[in-house]
């Protein structure tokens, strides 16, 4: 704590560093989480194709009952991972979306134009490739599977390249992946809802309205938002709308406002530091054992309050939940969903219309869609390439956009109920994600040889 207090006296870091450090922390966690995600994927494949195959299925099919009376939910473990824990994942995605739109990389039209257009191309073209092979067939409902980008895996590949990749490209990749997530949630809400219980939906909607009101009146306690949020999740589940949608909507109600600005915090912190220093080492002390004085304890408590007031509830929640999502929820999702029984006819599985459609969509459709739409946006003057980013960088990032994995597997579970189609889809996703990841890595690795200078933002005239 003393080290933290002393930092208040040091010169503040440059403005650009303060702006970039939250994104850098986010990217580092995503990249590290991507490595763990890969390990869990490999473990799931080995487990599902070993002599313990039946144990793999048995664990996820074990039923777990949670709740009380009319809000009792009795579902298999697989449900609790895919629908409950993934709602937390979507909640964090919602926090990222709100932060990005209001204060981040999507905060202005000029900033948002390129990743938004790129993401639209990266959703429309892959879906078209898939439907070209599956329209009218039994796999037609899987058209949304190749639309998604797995941000953890994508940033994990970028992390392997280190300083070869400019930070502006990482921001672009993250931004269009966030827009991708928005598209995925819209698709889930509209196309994967079969029937609606309007009573339960009204309850959930009313509680969402209450959360908005709590935000307006300045309530900042995350526990209250959490309790109401759980009831909203149950209401959405009972209504027939996929409960992960609730995670996004709840996130939109979390306050982003702060109560004091950084200058006020620094002034208050220095005053409290002086207050703390006034008593020096006068508290009880014996060797390394020590107690603060009443004055020092009071100063520390006030400093903790000031630290909470200078940071928004949204930012605190994002910082605290993101590691849980990256290092627990997503690896558990991979472990429970990536276990595909390969069998002896792998070539046969990879040549089904569903597998081929997904592979073409992710490996060919994604880079084509992102690349062409980005080129059109820049050439039309609608957007500009970020500083330090070349067209080779864009193509490499576009291929990394073809790493669908997590979101694609998630959508597979919503699109199909037939076990054969699910297996075909998962295998196609795994192969396509590997191919797209390798292609993107090689393209970005060679991008250091690119001599073209990317265009900067045009000056206003």
pLDDT (0 to 100) of residue 153: 83
Domain assignment present for residue 82? The answer is yes
The mean per-residue pLDDT over the stretch 94-123 comes to 89
The mean per-residue pLDDT over the stretch 261-272 comes to 90
pLDDT in tens, 215-225: 999 998 999 99
Domain assignment present for residue 348? The answer is yes
Q: Do 324 and 291 share a domain, yes or no?
A: no
The mean per-residue pLDDT over the stretch 173-199 comes to 86
pLDDT in tens, 38-91: 889 899 999 988 888 888 888 998 998 887 766 677 789 998 998 889 889 999
pLDDT (0 to 100) of residue 455: 43
Residues in the chain: 461
**Both structure tokens of 203:** 């309850």
Q: Among residues of the chain, what percentage have pLDDT more than 90? A: 43
pLDDT (0 to 100) of residue 28: 56
The rounded distance, in Å, linking the Cα atoms of 155 and 276 is: 43
- Tally of domains in the chain: 2
pLDDT (0 to 100) of residue 27: 52
Residue 160 CB: number of other CB atoms within 10 A? Answer: 15
Q: Do 280 and 414 share a domain, yes or no?
A: no
Q: Do 97 and 62 share a domain, yes or no?
A: yes
- Residues β-bridged to residue 66: 73
Kindly calculate the radius of gyration of the chain based on its CA atoms and give it in whole angstroms: 24
Domain assignment present for residue 292? The answer is yes
Q: Do 253 and 269 share a domain, yes or no?
A: no
Domain that holds residue 75: 2-192+242-257+312-449
The mean per-residue pLDDT over the stretch 1-26 comes to 45
pLDDT (0 to 100) of residue 349: 78
pLDDT (0 to 100) of residue 296: 86
pLDDT for 461 beyond 80: no
Q: Do 99 and 186 share a domain, yes or no?
A: yes
pLDDT for 2 beyond 80: no
pLDDT band at 361 (very low <50, low <70, confident <90, very high): very high
Q: Do 145 and 272 share a domain, yes or no?
A: no
**Both structure tokens of 59:** 């664990």
pLDDT in tens, 387-443: 888 999 999 999 999 999 888 999 999 899 898 999 999 999 999 999 999 999 999
Q: Do 376 and 300 share a domain, yes or no?
A: no
Q: In terms of Cα–Cα distance, which of 268, 267, 289, 294 is closest to 279?
A: 294
């Amino acid at each position: 704590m003393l080290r933290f207090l002393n930092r208040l006296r040091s010169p503040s870091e440059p403005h650009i560093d303060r702006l970039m450090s939250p994104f850098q922390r986010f990217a580092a966690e995503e990249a590290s989480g991507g490595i763990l995600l890969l390990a869990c994927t490999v473990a799931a494949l080995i487990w599902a194709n070993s002599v313990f195959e039946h144990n793999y299925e048995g664990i996820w099919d074990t039923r777990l009952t949670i709740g009380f009376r009319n809000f009792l939910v009795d579902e298999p473990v697989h449900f609790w991972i895919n629908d409950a824990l993934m709602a937390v994942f979507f909640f964090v995605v919602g926090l990222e979306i709100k932060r990005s739109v209001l204060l981040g990389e999507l905060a202005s039209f000029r900033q948002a134009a390129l990743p938004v257009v790129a993401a639209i191309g990266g959703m429309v073209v892959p879906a078209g490739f898939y439907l070209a092979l599956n329209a009218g067939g039994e796999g037609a409902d899987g058209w949304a599977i190749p639309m998604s980008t797995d941000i953890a895996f994508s940033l994990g590949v970028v992390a392997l390249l280190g300083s070869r990749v400019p930070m502006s490209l990482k921001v672009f990749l993250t931004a269009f992946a966030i827009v991708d997530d928005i598209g995925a949630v819209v698709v889930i809400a509209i196309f994967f809802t079969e029937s609606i219980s309007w009573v339960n939906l009204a309850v959930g909607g009313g509680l969402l309205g209450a959360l908005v009101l709590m935000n307006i009146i300045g309530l900042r306690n995350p526990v209250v938002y959490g309790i109401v949020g759980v009831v909203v999740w149950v209401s959405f589940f009972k209504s027939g709308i996929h409960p992960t949608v609730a995670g996004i909507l709840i996130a939109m109600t979390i306050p982003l406002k702060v109560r004091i600005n950084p200058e006020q915090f620094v002034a208050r912190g220095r005053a409290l530091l002086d207050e703390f220093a006034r008593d020096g080492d006068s508290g009880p002390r014996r060797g390394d054992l020590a107690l603060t004085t009443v004055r020092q304890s009071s100063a520390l408590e006030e400093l903790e309050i000031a630290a909470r007031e200078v940071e928004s509830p949204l930012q605190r929640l994002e910082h605290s939940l993101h590691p849980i999502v990256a290092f627990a929820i997503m690896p558990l999702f991979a472990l429970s969903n990536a276990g595909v029984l390969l069998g002896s006819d792998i070539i046969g599985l990879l040549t089904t219309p569903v597998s081929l459609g997904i592979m073409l969509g992710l490996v060919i459709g994604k880079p084509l869609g992102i690349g062409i739409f980005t080129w059109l946006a820049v050439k039309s003057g609608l957007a500009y390439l970020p500083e330090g980013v070349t067209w080779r960088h864009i193509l490499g990032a576009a291929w990394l956009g073809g790493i669908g994995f997590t979101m694609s597997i998630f959508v597979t579970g919503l699109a199909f109920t037939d076990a054969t189609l699910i297996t075909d889809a998962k295998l196609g996703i795994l192969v396509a994600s590997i191919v797209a990841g390798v292609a993107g890595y090689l393209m970005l690795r060679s991008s250091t040889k690119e001599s073209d200078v990317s265009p900067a933002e045009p000056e206003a005239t």
